[in-house]
């Protein structure tokens, strides 16, 4: 697994944590969506970190696949924040782009590992 993806996932999580801190100052729906976003975004890097200690190729693949699912979910929550006018699209554009790139990288890793069986 490219070492860079773990660092990118960590940096991405830091950016999302900061966004969620700002959203949590608000009430209601913003706080609920922030909670969902925070959970999925921080899970990406956590699962990649766990994959490094995978006990087998299958365990590694499972953890990276979970990270991929979480990255896709994170992208969804970011899109939803824009769609319901909680955060301007222009503000979230860099995070959406990074989420897309993380999804693409993780998809490539999962496909490669599956093809090596």
Tokens of 60: 């590694």
> For the chain, how many helices (H) and strands (E)?
4, 0
What tens digit of pLDDT does each residue of 24-56 get? Answer: 887 789 999 999 999 999 999 999 999 988 789
Q: What is the pLDDT of residue 26?
A: 75
The domain of 81 spans: 3-112
Tokens of 3: 């070492």
Q: Which among 23, 9, 15 is positioned nearest to 71, based on CA atoms?
A: 9
Can you tell me the distance from the alpha carbon of 117 to that of 104, in angstroms, rounded to the nearest whole number? 21
- CB 33, CB 76: distance < 8 Å: no
Q: Does residue 117 lie in a domain region?
A: no
Q: How many structural domains are present in the chain?
A: 1
DSSP class of 108: H
Q: Answer yes or no: is 77 within a domain.
A: yes
Q: Which residue has the higher pLDDT, 29 or 14?
A: 14
Tokens of 70: 């979480």
pLDDT tens sequence across 40-99: 999 999 999 999 887 899 999 999 999 999 999 999 999 999 999 999 999 999 999 999
Specify if 15 maps to a domain.
yes
Domain CATH number, residue 87: 1.20.1440.60
Specify if 91 maps to a domain: yes
């Amino acid at each position: 697994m490219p070492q860079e993806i773990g660092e990118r996932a960590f940096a991405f999580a830091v950016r999302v944590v900061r966004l969620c801190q700002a959203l949590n100052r608000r009430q209601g729906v913003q706080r609920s969506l922030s909670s969902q976003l925070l959970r999925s975004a921080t899970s990406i890097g956590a699962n990649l970190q766990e994959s490094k200690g995978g006990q087998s190729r299958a365990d590694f693949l499972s953890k990276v696949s979970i990270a991929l699912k979480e990255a896709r979910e994170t992208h969804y929550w970011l899109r939803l924040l824009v769609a319901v006018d909680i955060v301007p699209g222009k503000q979230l554009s860099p995070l959406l782009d990074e989420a897309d790139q993380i999804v693409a990288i993780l998809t490539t890793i999962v496909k490669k590992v599956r093809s090596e069986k």
